[in-house]
Structure 1
Amino acid sequence: MGLEKEKAETCVFMDEDVFHSTIEPILKKKKEKARAPLLDRDPRDINAHLKVDFEDVIAEPSSVHSLDSVWIGSHALFELIKFSFYRVLTTLLAIPMALVAGLVFAILSCVHIWVVMPLVQSCMMTLPSVQVIWSSLMDTFVRPVLRSAGRCLSSISIKSCKADVL
């Protein structure tokens, strides 16, 4: 148990797959600390049908393939154009559309609260008395007529006979 004067060299040989699979959790932990978590701006998946990726639009069957550089370049161009034009269009249209949508929903809410619901409640309050009057009118005028017609027509009997074909 004295001082060791010799240095030992050790080497570890690992396959690339093993190396990447073991280091990925470490890299993910560092990325999570460096970047704040993104807020889910569509928590109810209202626009799930708009989640379009390059492979959803352009797909090459296994029988034909373009050059890898063409495929990668077109993928990059697709994502760049989609991202940048979305940013430009939302910059131009988001505030005016939010203003219009806010006005429309404010008008609809106001009409619903101050016009529609009072009318519905008024109708619901008067319906019991209207129901009594309506059923009295039906019992007095319509029911006797329909009952008489039913009794007259109930005495009719129809028999169908098949004629012999020569």
Structure 2
Amino acid sequence: MAFMKNGSFTVLLSFLLILCLLSVSPAETRGQKSMGAREAKAEEATVYVPMPEPGKKVVIGNGYYLVYGFDKKPKLGTVIMKVEIFSTEGRKDTSFGVKANADMPSMRGAHSSGDRSFAVSRRGDYVLPISIVMPGDWEIKLTVTKDGKIIYRGRHDFNV
């Protein structure tokens, strides 16, 4: 009882509670799996080829090409990225999976959108809103899949 009367027990209990709270990573508190060193290294090792400027044809293989662009010049706020995929005969094709991850290379992970899937519009365009939250260098990594297999990885770099 003397232990509890002089406040030492309260101090010890507070210390243990703070220690427990500090041992939980920020990613775990948001319900996300934190990335280990191996996964981070694998992400860095994946090669995304630089894409030509928006509006130009980008050959993605298997007899297809894509053309990408934005609803407006990327600036602070939300910009809509649009991707159209065509066969070499010029027919639009919506049977692909298209994902993108927007991030700032100088602050890798701090403003990452994460790998997000494009929606397909009624016109057959793949569209995705992208949030540009601060000025600086940005990069959008694009991944195109067909029948569950990755057929193309490219990146578009720009400055806001």
TM over 0.5: no
Which structure carries more helix by proportion? 1
Q: TM-score, normalised by structure 2?
A: 0.21
Q: TM-score, normalised by structure 1?
A: 0.20
Higher relative contact order (CA 8 A, sep 6+): 2
Tell which structure's C-alpha radius of gyration is larger.
1
Which structure carries more strand by proportion? 2
